Structure 1
Amino acid sequence: MSMHSKAYIFRQQQLLVDEHFQLPQAARLQHDLYLSENGEIIARDLKEDELVPEGYQLVPIRLLVQVWSRVQFEQASRAVQLLEWRRNHRFCSQCGHSTQQHASQYAMVCSSCGYNQYPRVNPCVITIITRGTDEILLAKNARNKTQMYSLIAGFVEVGETLEYAVRRETLEEVGLHIKNIQYLSSQPWPFPSNLMMAFKAEYQEGEIQIQENELSDAQFFKFDQLPEIPFKGSIAYAMIQHVIHGTPVADDSKEWL
């Protein structure tokens, strides 16, 4: 069996790839995170004092979502989230003792009290809201320095259903009531460890009143008069194309690499 593996090597949110955005083959090290049972796919952190190998570059994974297939990006997303989970759980949250990774599970185990810490994702809802047959609601994030407009999104709070979170986020951010909420699709989004769950809904009533600490603007736009929107590869882009052109939000027919 070869001791070299396809390697996801990260420095924070940047991934080591060659000029064609392909992953390196690397010799396995003791503390590698195995993404496949046989160790053919691994993940590790590139230490701050380690040099980038010749012929390779560190590329933000936000860029890779635009050039890779959905399957490739999801595997990279899984890798970076698991590395961050392991990095952030080196100590037990119950007793403070140091932890070690379980031999066969994604669990950080406390050798003192036995508590296991497993990876967690943060559920988020993202909603495309239509008005009539040719308008969608787009909003500009107050912290975004570009002119890009996107969809209403936010974290699901404890005790909420997804549909309730959709209604609450919409009411909080733009002051509108919506109806006919329908689930569309989902996308892992590793910034840092989110699961985006996509919904569509229809405008019911109300006037736009933006939550100023979150948004700088929100408007209904005609399909043929859209401002700058999120990049291809993001679920927001796919949702907008779905509503306007009828294209699928996600292709679930592909198998994992």
Structure 2
Amino acid sequence: MTRRTALEPLTGLVVDRDAVRRTRPELFDELLSDPATRLLPLWHGKALMTDASAGALDLVTPDRQSAALVRVYLGRTLLAGLEPVGTPVIAVTLTDAAAAELEPDESRWADLRRVGTGLSERDYALFCEAVAVANWHESHTHCPRCGTPTVVEAGGWVRRCFVDGREVFPRTDPAIIVRVLDDRDRILLGSNAMWENNRWSILAGFVEPGESFEAAVIREVAEEAGVLVTEPRFLGSQPWPFPASIMVGYEARAVDVGDVALTPDGEEILEVRWFTREELWAERGDLLLPGGASIAHAIIADWYGGPLDGPPGGAAR
């Protein structure tokens, strides 16, 4: 199975979402009668794993699970896993009772944040897609215009209002995440007010209406750290379904850093600091950095020159 490395994460096409087939009224009847179909069970945002070590998704056959709160046709796999290429996959969200009946051992149910970095590219893509759409269903049970309950259609990709037939589609909120470097090739990290006081990461923020990604990079860094940056350069992107984001990664260069004091906004970001690679390594016992499943980890590791749990391996760029 292909594993993800560096800044390639989570952007490849590994699932054919088979959008044309979603509109067939008989879709789920066809899929559930197909012996090749597999179900991806979700319980409180957790997926069923093949074992407690969480090395792979346990995609179950339809006969193992009959009741579901919501079904979503995720598409057909384009990479092989424990199942062959072309396997149709349906995400099913379960009640507590249905999840316990399917698998009572709670250690077999895993959160994407915890196990994402160890999954194959295919399993990560399926898990991420399933969680993102399940989160949307959970928050859109009623029409946003009139409050009427909505009905699920189009293979789980549309909710329709009973009153006026208005269709509601899944949404994704774009956010930038940026590696800011100075003229000494130090990286700028911040500590968020909602984190432990020793947790650090690169800066991020949501894109505002009418704003480009590049403009959002410049604005967010100025707001959160008081640093003017230039030359935003796209690095990669990552779906981040917590609850419904796409993280768009950039690098930018700080302008005229000199001895100018950093000024965190004091509300979202409580502290900001420049780090060299050697400082990250020397202070590794006191710093908490982003988890391996996140694009933040990949972007920092790419600058660092190797795994963040080892000595720095990259030369200044």
Shift of 1:199: 0.4
* Equivalent in the alignment of 2:297: 237
**Is there any run of 5+ residues in structure 1 with no aligned partner, and where?**
248-257
The answer to whether the aligner puts 1:211 opposite 2:250 as a matched pair is no
Work out the CA distance in 2 between the residues paired with 1:5 and 1:104. Answer: 14
Identity percentage of aligned residues: 26
2:103 matched to which residue of 1?
Answer: 53
Give yes or no for the alignment of 1:189 onto 2:221.
no
Whole-Å separation in 2 of the counterparts to 1:225 and 1:71: 36
Q: What's the TM-score once normalised by structure 1's chain length? A: 0.86
Aligned residues: 247
> Partners in 2 of 1:215 and 1:72 — Cα distance?
34
**Residues 134, 228 of structure 1: CA spacing in aligned structure 2 closer, same or farther, 3 A cutoff?**
farther
Q: 1:41 to 1:78 in 2, by over 3 A?
A: same
Cα distance in structure 2, aligned partners of 1:39 and 1:84: 24
Once the two structures are superposed, residues 211-239 of structure 1 have per-residue CA deviations (whole angstroms, 9 ceiling, x without a partner) of 11112321000112114321223111111
- Answer whether contact 1:4 1:25 (CA < 8 A) is retained: no
Indicate yes or no: 2:82 matched with 1:34.
Answer: no
| Aligned positions of 1:107-122 closer than 5 A | 107-122=158-173
Check the 8 A contact 2:40/2:60 in 1, yes or no. no
- In the other structure, the counterpart of 2:277 is 223
Partners of 1:135 and 1:83 in 2: CA distance: 39
Q: Residues of 1 paired with 2:134 and 2:36: CA distance? A: 19
Amino acid aligned to 2:191: K
Partner of 2:311: none
1:90-169 correspondence runs (5 A): 90-103=141-154, 106-145=157-196, 147-169=198-220
Match of 1:250 in 2: none
Gaps spanning 5+ residues in structure 2: where?
1-32, 77-85, 281-286, 308-317
Task: Say which structure is richer in strand.
Answer: 1
Distance 1:146 1:66 in 2: 24
How much does 1:54 deviate? Answer: 4.7
AA at the equivalent of 2:73: Y
